[in-house]
Structure 1
Amino acid sequence: MIGFLEQVSAFVWGPPLLILIVGTGIYLTLRLGFVQILLPTALLNAFSRKKQDKLSDGDISHYQALTTQMAATIGTGNIVGVATAVIAGGPGAVFWMWVMAIFGMATKYAEAVLAVKYRVKGEDGQMSGGPMYYLERGLKLKWLAVAFAIFGSIAAFGIGNMVQTNAVSAAAENSFNIPTWVTGIILAIVTALVILGGIKSIGRVTAFFVPIMAVFYIIGGLIIMTLNFDIVPAAINLILTDAFTASAVGGGILGTVIRYGVARGIFSNEAGLGSAPIAAAAAKTDYPGRQGLVSMTQVFIDTIIVCSITGITIVMADLHQTGVAGGALTGESFGVFLGTPGVLIVSITTILFAYSTVIAWSYYGEKCLNYLFKSPKAVTIYRVVWVVAVFFGATTVIDIVWLFSDIFNALMAIPNLIGLLGLSGVVAYETKRFLKVAKEEREQERAAKSKSA
């Protein structure tokens, strides 16, 4: 079974899908006039508290929507995913993760714009949105929307649940000698306490939790680079040169290094996967374009900052050809420079990153299920099963779940990318509309400042 699933995974994540994902990002970048240059404005919007946003429809703030998306994406992909990319594809894979992130910012922007544009308010007063809604209401392809919802509700148990809790229990056992069943019970309880409160509860938790865990890991990496600054340039140079070696571009249409860099970049920031717009749809915002900019920043923080910390540190330590696997490679690489504290930094952040992913992805999965059944009872059952899966994932060897996750991630991405391409004209229109309003807002602010002065 594992051998068969490995073949299926290699097929669905082959050159056609990778070209489609990268190509969509490039196309949207050009169609939207390089929206990535608005990153500084996007960061300001993420932390703003505009009066019109507070009065707008939605369940959570821009900031909470962003941290929920970051909670879902800053997970094992930032630690284990980067490590496996470097092991399988070489140091150059980090460069192709950066490339994927740059174009992925336009993809993530478009996803959020469409999520807000086509969202609906349920009988409970809460917003629902995401690929299933813009595929049905925008592209008029309900069968494709149903397909995405099915794939999303299933994929959530892999990428967003069991592979994450398994990483937590492994880290807790290896670093603190905590039995996996104890970790499983604790995770199940704390997960239930958060997700039973719905998106508002998840938003409050991630708004507090995500910045702390991200800053903790980033500071650890920056300490390593600062204390060993003399070898940082050589590591970056190796990443850049290895990305274009003959062996890299000669192993097929994309080459091994490009394939792993792009695939793990997607696994890390989920641009094009269709998951993050489900959270974006819940944001209180007056224009789809405003939330689009906020969502775009998530890719930058996730890959350009957090994944770079991991990748550069691994290349600096030069342990990627020694046979050390996955997350252990990241821990040992930190340990090379900081000793036991370095290993503990990776262990603790693995636990925090993975847990945050579990609570955020529970929302993604239940929204997909709610689209299919439109039943509060079905959502309640889903949450109970989710908590049980948390315990199961923490206490069981689940190599096969990684393969299922890869396959269903690809199956999610295909209908979502079709939606993005088919509705790119809507995204372009909404972008022009918002930028015109944003320009007027800036002029009004300048006029108000001049008057007060």
Structure 2
Amino acid sequence: MLHIIEEVNNSVNAFIWGVPSMVCIIGVGLLLTIRTKGLQFRKFGYVLKHTFGTIFDKKEAEEGALTPFQSVCTALAGTVGTGNIAGVAGAIALGGPGAVFWMWCSALLGMCTKFAEVTLAVHFRERNDKGDWVGGPMYYIKNGLGKKWQFLAVLYSILGILTVFGTGNATQVNTIVASIDSALFNFNVFNEDNVGNVNLGIGILIAVLVLLILLGGIKRIGNVTSKLVPFMAVFYIVMGLILVAVNYERVPEVFKSIFEGAFNPRSVTGGVVGSLFISMRRGVSRGIFSNEAGLGTGSIAHASSDVAHPIQQGMWGIFEVFADTIVICTLTALAILCSGININYGKAAGAELTISGFTTTFGGWISILLAVALCCFAFSTILGWGLYGSRCIEYLFGPKVVKPFIIVYALVAIIGATMDLGLLWSLADTFNGLMIIPNLIAVFLLSGTVIHLVKDYFRNPESQRLEMDK
């Protein structure tokens, strides 16, 4: 029976993450880019000034809301995860270095898609019974498109709930225990007889931490992610930059292989990856999986932001994709390609390929630091997706079911730490891909609203900012 389910799921998964999804995601991103006149490019300096340039501004959010920086950190907590380390490695192994070029292309369009999602989430958000701001695809479908489209909001919420336990929790915990086990084995801290008990202990600890943080509500989630995300991002970026600096002589050749491999994969991979479409598909799909532009999930966190105008938070959406894909994913790719390690093109690979790149350059001791980075990445993803799941279930059944959901969600961490997940990862990936459909339909139909808000904001952007700073 499981074999049949797996075959059916593989077929659905291949379709969802194949040509249709790429056409939809790239198409909507291109449409938004055209309609906003390339906002993510022509206003990029303005975006950096009013996002990254305001990180150290002291500002307290109103009750039931987060500061813009806390909101983007919570969203980045869900996007900056093991996909940045394992996903990029897999894209290169199966699509060649050229996959990195297509990953960049998807990110450049994805900036505008994420901008639109975040803008709509803030514009159409509402207060829940606790007084917290709630928003996201289900709310901009409900409040932006009306009752006849309500089924899309329900569908999105159901798919979101089905996805969080796998993509957002069990698989992330599994990555945490695998990285810790690997590091401890390398230094002979314990043997195989102790693995089960150690993994159980890790699972219980993660479950307790997740429970305490998520039950604390949006404020506690924002406080934790605003400290954890910058730490893990800067830590990983510094390690990546040092690796590239050490191997600086290989950098020109690496970039040549990326651009050449984008249009002629065969010339770089020795004929193993000979299809331009395969390289493109791997790069685009991994880019989307990493930054979630098109899935709409990140906008759920952004909707909690204390801002005067939706466009102000929409700019953080552009920054989020830039930081996640253009910066962190690119450093992962360079860490692999600049290290000079042997890549078995055409065969699946994951975090071990990235780890090999670092250990080849620095030695085995770096595996401990990488294990720390992986744990931080994965744990932050668990928190981010915990928020997404609680908002989805609250939309369907009301606030009373949120606490029971959080308890069950936290306990799933123990399963992820102690069991072979197998089919669960693939199923979660399929549900994740299905979330694209209702979200992109809504973003497409509401694109006119985004354009109206852009024009409204940029008539006098500084007055909007002064209003926000009051």
Shorter-chain TM range is over 0.9
Aligned to 2:49: 44
Aligned with residue 25 of structure 1, among 13, 22, 29: 29
How many angstroms apart in 2 are the aligned matches of 1:347 and 1:393?
Answer: 17
Q: How does 1:281-300 map to 2 (within 5 A)?
A: 281-300=303-322
Letter in 2 for 1:231: R
How many angstroms apart in 1 are the aligned matches of 2:354 and 2:206?
Answer: 23
Q: How does 1:145-184 map to 2 (within 5 A)?
A: 145-177=153-185, 179-184=198-203
C-alpha distance 159-386 of structure 1, shift in aligned 2 (>3 A): same
How many angstroms apart in 2 are the aligned matches of 1:231 and 1:132?
Answer: 47
Letter in 1 for 2:369: I
State the shift of 1:443 in Å.
11
Instruction: Report if aligned partners of 1:52, 1:285 keep a CA contact under 8 Å in 2.
Output: no
Q: Secondary structure at the match of 1:325?
A: coil
Aligned with residue 244 of structure 2, among 219, 225, 231: 225
Instruction: Report if aligned partners of 1:67, 1:203 keep a CA contact under 8 Å in 2.
Output: yes
Aligned to 1:451: none
Q: How does 1:254-293 map to 2 (within 5 A)?
A: 255-293=277-315
Aligned to 1:393: 416
Aligned to 2:11: 7
Aligned with residue 315 of structure 1, among 328, 332, 337: 337
Letter in 1 for 2:290: S
Q: Secondary structure at the match of 2:415?
A: helix
Query: Are 1:197 and 2:201 matched, yes or no?
Result: no
Aligned length: 442
C-alpha distance 58-32 of structure 1, shift in aligned 2 (>3 A): farther
Aligned with residue 341 of structure 1, among 343, 348, 365: 365
C-alpha distance 171-277 of structure 1, shift in aligned 2 (>3 A): same
Aligned to 1:106: 112
Aligned to 1:186: 205
Q: Secondary structure at the match of 1:255?
A: helix
C-alpha distance 101-289 of structure 1, shift in aligned 2 (>3 A): same
Aligned with residue 238 of structure 1, among 250, 257, 265: 257
Instruction: Report if aligned partners of 2:102, 2:280 keep a CA contact under 8 Å in 1.
Output: yes
Letter in 2 for 1:73: T
State the shift of 1:442 in Å.
8.5
Scaled by the length of structure 2, the TM-score of the pair is 0.89
Query: Are 1:368 and 2:387 matched, yes or no?
Result: no
Aligned with residue 411 of structure 1, among 416, 419, 434: 434
Instruction: Report if aligned partners of 2:264, 2:276 keep a CA contact under 8 Å in 1.
Output: no
Instruction: Report if aligned partners of 1:247, 1:255 keep a CA contact under 8 Å in 2.
Output: no
Instruction: Report if aligned partners of 2:291, 2:324 keep a CA contact under 8 Å in 1.
Output: yes
Q: Secondary structure at the match of 1:271?
A: coil
Letter in 2 for 1:365: G
Q: Secondary structure at the match of 1:283?
A: coil
Q: Deviations over 1:73-102 (max 9, x none)?
A: 010110110111111111111111111110
Aligned to 2:144: 138
How many angstroms apart in 1 are the aligned matches of 2:406 and 2:465?
Answer: 44
Percentage of pairs with the same residue: 39
Instruction: Report if aligned partners of 1:165, 1:394 keep a CA contact under 8 Å in 2.
Output: yes
C-alpha distance 118-254 of structure 1, shift in aligned 2 (>3 A): farther
How many angstroms apart in 2 are the aligned matches of 1:341 and 1:375?
Answer: 47
Query: Are 1:325 and 2:331 matched, yes or no?
Result: no
Instruction: Report if aligned partners of 1:153, 1:368 keep a CA contact under 8 Å in 2.
Output: yes
Aligned to 2:98: 92
How many angstroms apart in 1 are the aligned matches of 2:181 and 2:302?
Answer: 35
- Unpaired stretches in structure 2, ≥5 consecutive residues: 186-194
State the shift of 1:408 in Å.
0.7
Aligned to 2:326: 304
How many angstroms apart in 2 are the aligned matches of 1:199 and 1:442?
Answer: 24
State the shift of 1:52 in Å.
13
How many angstroms apart in 2 are the aligned matches of 1:85 and 1:228?
Answer: 22
Aligned to 1:350: 374
Instruction: Report if aligned partners of 1:92, 1:257 keep a CA contact under 8 Å in 2.
Output: yes
Q: Secondary structure at the match of 1:243?
A: helix
Letter in 2 for 1:88: L
State the shift of 1:51 in Å.
11
How many angstroms apart in 1 are the aligned matches of 2:466 and 2:392?
Answer: 41
Query: Are 1:434 and 2:457 matched, yes or no?
Result: yes
Letter in 1 for 2:366: G
Aligned to 2:86: 80
How many angstroms apart in 1 are the aligned matches of 2:156 and 2:466?
Answer: 42
Q: Which moved more, 1:251-260 or 1:178-187?
A: 251-260
Q: Secondary structure at the match of 2:388?
A: helix
Q: Deviations over 1:29-75 (max 9, x none)?
A: 11111111323322333353899986778610000001001111010
State the shift of 1:416 in Å.
0.4
How many angstroms apart in 2 are the aligned matches of 1:52 and 1:292?
Answer: 20
How many angstroms apart in 1 are the aligned matches of 2:117 and 2:360?
Answer: 40
Q: Deviations over 1:382-437 (max 9, x none)?
A: 00110111111111111212211211111111110001100000000001111122
Aligned to 1:124: 130
- Unpaired stretches in structure 1, ≥5 consecutive residues: 445-453
Instruction: Report if aligned partners of 1:25, 1:106 keep a CA contact under 8 Å in 2.
Output: yes
How many angstroms apart in 1 are the aligned matches of 2:327 and 2:112?
Answer: 17
How many angstroms apart in 1 are the aligned matches of 2:381 and 2:174?
Answer: 12
C-alpha distance 253-113 of structure 1, shift in aligned 2 (>3 A): farther
Instruction: Report if aligned partners of 2:290, 2:325 keep a CA contact under 8 Å in 1.
Output: yes
Instruction: Report if aligned partners of 1:118, 1:134 keep a CA contact under 8 Å in 2.
Output: yes
- Provide runs of 4+ in structure 1 moved above 6 Å: 49-53, 250-254, 441-444
Letter in 1 for 2:86: V
Instruction: Report if aligned partners of 2:133, 2:304 keep a CA contact under 8 Å in 1.
Output: yes
Instruction: Report if aligned partners of 2:64, 2:219 keep a CA contact under 8 Å in 1.
Output: no
Q: Secondary structure at the match of 2:44?
A: helix
Letter in 2 for 1:284: D
Q: Deviations over 1:106-138 (max 9, x none)?
A: 000000110011001012101110000111111
Q: Which moved more, 1:319-328 or 1:398-407?
A: 319-328
Instruction: Report if aligned partners of 2:89, 2:354 keep a CA contact under 8 Å in 1.
Output: yes
How many angstroms apart in 2 are the aligned matches of 1:192 and 1:348?
Answer: 21
Q: Secondary structure at the match of 2:460?
A: helix
C-alpha distance 292-56 of structure 1, shift in aligned 2 (>3 A): farther
How many angstroms apart in 2 are the aligned matches of 1:28 and 1:320?
Answer: 37
C-alpha distance 122-285 of structure 1, shift in aligned 2 (>3 A): same
Q: Secondary structure at the match of 2:295?
A: coil
Instruction: Report if aligned partners of 2:106, 2:284 keep a CA contact under 8 Å in 1.
Output: yes
